[in-house]
Structure 1
Amino acid sequence: MKRIEPVILAFALLLLCGCGRKADVRPAGAGTDRPSPVFPDYREVTVPCNIAPLNFYYTDPEASRFVTTFTSAGQSVTVKGREVVWKEKDWAAMRATGEDVKVLSQYKTPSGPISFLWFIHVSPDPVDGWLTYRLIEPGFEVWDDLEIVERNLTNFESRPISDWRNTKNKCMNCHIHAQGRGDLSMFYLRGEGGGAILNRGGTLRKLTLRDSTMISSTVYGEIHPAGRFGVFSTNVIIPAMHPFGNRRMEVYDTASDLCVADFDGNRMTTFPETARPDVFETFPVFSADGNWVYYCAAPARKLPAEVEQTMYSLVRRPFDAETGTLGGPADTLWSATERGLSVCHPKASPDGRWLLFTVADYGTFPINHRECDLRMLDLRTGDVLTLDEVNADKSDTYHSWSSDARWFVFASKRGDGMFGKPWFSHVSEDGRVTRPFLLPQKDPHFYDNMTRSFNVPDLGNASVGFDAAEIGRVWREVPAEAFE
């Protein structure tokens, strides 16, 4: 299926942004998506000790004669010019001190000289070295030129691990790791010749995760830490345009259930308790120890008429890792009725301490809800942290943990309100989070010229090992395995 309107949108944005680096910069200051004096705004952020260089530029179009001086543990680096681009050896040396970096910014404006001091805080906790994400234009019902990319976070290297070139422009859904493991992951290729692509220990399989009792193929889910089972939702998904406030589009389920896939036995199992027509269930994930399944549940309603009254609670059920069965009864961890907000995208931290999730006014597909924010549940105490340091005014959504639970990445449309980008925050052992920072790029103007969203950013502790050409071969030559 080819896009129509997104082509026009992308072309218009390219005209606005220009091709390549411009001599001037985008409008900056209050009321713009560049309100800070530097972009990306790395002032007072906390970064991992192994992150790629933090390149940025100064946003004031009237300023000139820029001088930036970085100092840490007796070392000093000075960069002149509007664009601040690190030499990788200088950044590595500065980062290796293990101490915070003091930054002095100086430049001249028509109203006089400007000078301000700020810091980059360096954490001794490294982040997982790989990030996968789907690059997709912000269309509504059509797509084109999709690709899933793996980025090395310690430098600027990236490569497609699945793309439109090798799959004849197939729709592909986002890649997820099992608790940050590079050797255990999956994603979907949709349409003819497609299936769920499972990467387990370097072996690729194409699976048809559906049996005759299910209302649809599997949609959302996660792989059990041991690798044998996966828990999934089956959803009848309806996208619809509507005029509710700033929400151009709503996506809702008219039916959704839970199921478990046995990857060793090629078997799908559904359960009466999670296949009730009067309850919608979606977004299932495992606890860190694999003994629980967390998911979102809401009373079924007449849709689309009652979409604004569709509120999902956060619940959990016990999981038997020997038999692959869901138990009961369900425990409610966050009540939508009591809280007045709807939950989606739960993700358990690999250390078993935290559960990160998204809340919105209603529904369970908040990518077009500007009000949606992140919350974090302390699984020991039951306390819910509002993460005010992390949330912004536009759509903070899908998130993923690093394998040591010290970092998480999330997609946010803060700034322009159109394109999702990956932001990172550090989590201390007691749940304190830091001001998030934007994924660094080699070109400081990269995001000015980018007309695709980073969809479902997901952290991995190792490279997945396969590439787009291998996925193309699997798509063309490997039959999809049937499940019963």
Structure 2
Amino acid sequence: MKYLYPLLWLFVFLSCNDVLPDAEETEGEIEIFPDYKEVAVPCNIAPLNFKLKEPCEAIALFSGKDLQIRVDSDNGSFQIPEKKWRRLLDASAGGKLTVGIYIRKEDRWLRYPSFSIQVVEDKIDSYLVYRRIAPGYRMWNRMGIYQRCLEDFTEETFLDNKLTNNNCMNCHSFCMQNPDRMLFHQRALHAGTYLLKDGHIEKLATKTERTISALVYPAWHPSGRYVAFSTNDTKQDFHLSDANRVEVFDNRSDVVVYDVEKHEIITAPHLSSEENMETFPAFSPDGRRLYFCSAPACQMPESYREIRYNLQSIAFDPEKRSFGQKIDTLYNANKERRSAKFPRVSPDGRFLMYTVSDYGNFSIWHKDADLRLLDMLTCQTDSLLQVNSDDVESYHSWSSNSRWFVFNSRRGDGLYTRPYICYLDANGVPGKPFLLPQKETDYYERSLFSFNIPELIRGKIKVDTYKLIDISKYGEAVRLK
């Protein structure tokens, strides 16, 4: 009797009409897009639909523990039935799937060597939030912030700028992957920082007499009481002839902390000095330490290739709203001869991920930009060779269980940023990253938009969009002290 149920499942998945063709074994590998060969995926991920590089009549056979899915295609594009995929993942969690590819070439069938997919029992947070925008430099018309369910292909609009007079919106951020506590900025028309907390929406006017600019790059304190921000005097320039098309740099920058309850800005001399430029803050998961990047102030843009940012930290006392007196340097830019940015600590406090590039602090157009991983327990740094590519790797965020991270990369065409997902085991060993799955296998070829700021969250954002738009257009902003 114990063997009956697996046999019944096989019968459900593969009927009598699904007899595989007699095929000739071939040794060569077959190219697929996206490249899902030998990747590690969470057990709750959407189907990994893919296509062959060369269109043809083909069969894909997905085999897991006691279950198989056969997908037939007349053009080499495979869309896996979602319910069958879910059963296959559930049965294979903690193990592997194998994928066999059969293609018809003239009057004969060829079978290529199978590849495997590791199905990890650690789930990924169920939603990914990102901004979609054309990959331009100055001119844009359409953009929006969207939330995508990673367990299927459902994508919903959080806010589209066609509803807010085609203005700019950016820098969405969440408190400990909590969809009920977030913020984002709007620029130009309806300018302000919008803070959402358990359904309440607050519009903030964040420029003060003491700050360089309105608040820019955010990072929540785990308590939700504070948000660290940079304030930046940012400029953009272009190269006539360079692999990096664009340079974005700061003339000045500071780091401040915003008290959500008191609507007050607090800072310290180590974070807002004339001698240094501080930016990209991030709190530790226990809320007792603030990480940031800092470089000696210099004349810009003349020194844009010489400026390199250290990765540093300072103690923070949330009860007293005060900072320590000692600065710790985790990444010495002068010693390493590279520049650090985007520090993010894993929710379990074990790892700190950051980006490095040859110079500067805005590396999303720098082909030399790579991810690094600092083990906070052993103080060892991993260059993440299995994760990085020859093109840009930049922004990144963690899943709430610290086992997954998502990052932006321009690998593929060098122009569009795409979100890649990667597994990291408890010892800090990464898997092979994979491109965010889409229902249509030609989605990325047809899309004319880049994905910015991919943020993992534990559930769906629930917001009254029309109320948000009304506050955006007509609401009075709270001024910070």
TM-score after normalising by structure 2: 0.91
SS of match in other structure, 2:326: coil
Bigger radius of gyration, 1 or 2? 2
Structure 1 position 474, deviation (Å):
1.9
| Structure 1 pair 36–218 and aligned structure 2 pair: CA distance change class (3 A) | farther
Matched with 2:51 is 57
**Equivalent in 34, 42, 49 of residue 36 of structure 2:** 42
Alignment of 1:215-234 (within 5 A): 215-234=212-231
Q: Which amino acid aligns with 2:155?
A: S
Alignment of 1:97-136 (within 5 A): 97=91, 98=93, 99-109=95-105, 113-136=110-133
Matched with 1:75 is 67
Matched with 1:293 is 290
1-side partners of 2:384 and 2:57: how far apart? 38
Q: Which amino acid aligns with 1:101?
A: L
Alignment of 1:311-390 (within 5 A): 311-390=308-387
**Equivalent in 150, 155, 160 of residue 152 of structure 2:** 155
The answer to whether the Cα contact below 8 Å between 1:133 and 1:174 also exists between their aligned partners in 2 is: no
Q: Which amino acid aligns with 2:205?
A: T
1-side partners of 2:127 and 2:209: how far apart? 37
Answer yes or no: is 1:464 the counterpart of 2:461: yes
Q: Which amino acid aligns with 1:70?
A: F
Q: For this pair of structures, how many residues does the alignment match?
A: 448
Answer yes or no: is 1:140 the counterpart of 2:134: no
| Structure 1 pair 243–467 and aligned structure 2 pair: CA distance change class (3 A) | farther
Alignment of 1:381-460 (within 5 A): 381-460=378-457
What is the CA RMSD across the aligned residues, in angstroms?
Answer: 1.5
Q: Which amino acid aligns with 1:176?
A: S
SS of match in other structure, 1:330: strand
2-side partners of 1:56 and 1:416: how far apart? 18
Structure 1 position 467, deviation (Å):
5.3
2-side partners of 1:324 and 1:170: how far apart? 35
Bigger shift: residues 324-333 or 467-476? 467-476
Structure 1 position 36, deviation (Å):
6.7
The answer to whether the Cα contact below 8 Å between 2:165 and 2:189 also exists between their aligned partners in 1 is: no
Q: Which amino acid aligns with 2:102?
A: Q
The answer to whether the Cα contact below 8 Å between 1:194 and 1:480 also exists between their aligned partners in 2 is: no
Matched with 1:205 is 202
Q: Which amino acid aligns with 2:275?
A: D
2-side partners of 1:221 and 1:36: how far apart? 44
Q: Percent identity?
A: 36
Structure 1 position 215, deviation (Å):
1.0
2-side partners of 1:457 and 1:344: how far apart? 16
Q: Relative contact order (C-alpha < 8 Å, sep 6+): which is higher? A: 1
Matched with 2:475 is 478
Q: Which runs of 4+ in 1 moved over 4 A?
A: 109-112
Alignment of 1:175-254 (within 5 A): 175-243=172-240, 245-254=242-251
1-side partners of 2:421 and 2:310: how far apart? 26
SS of match in other structure, 1:94: helix
1-side partners of 2:155 and 2:71: how far apart? 26
SS of match in other structure, 1:451: coil
| Structure 1 pair 467–117 and aligned structure 2 pair: CA distance change class (3 A) | farther
SS of match in other structure, 1:472: helix
2-side partners of 1:431 and 1:53: how far apart? 26
Q: Which amino acid aligns with 1:47?
A: V
The answer to whether the Cα contact below 8 Å between 2:293 and 2:341 also exists between their aligned partners in 1 is: yes
SS of match in other structure, 2:445: helix
1-side partners of 2:378 and 2:199: how far apart? 38
| Structure 1 pair 162–373 and aligned structure 2 pair: CA distance change class (3 A) | same
Structure 1 position 207, deviation (Å):
1.1
- Deviations, residues 451-479 of structure 1 (Å, cap 9, x unaligned): 10000100001212115433212202321
Structure 1 position 244, deviation (Å):
5.6
Structure 1 position 270, deviation (Å):
3.0
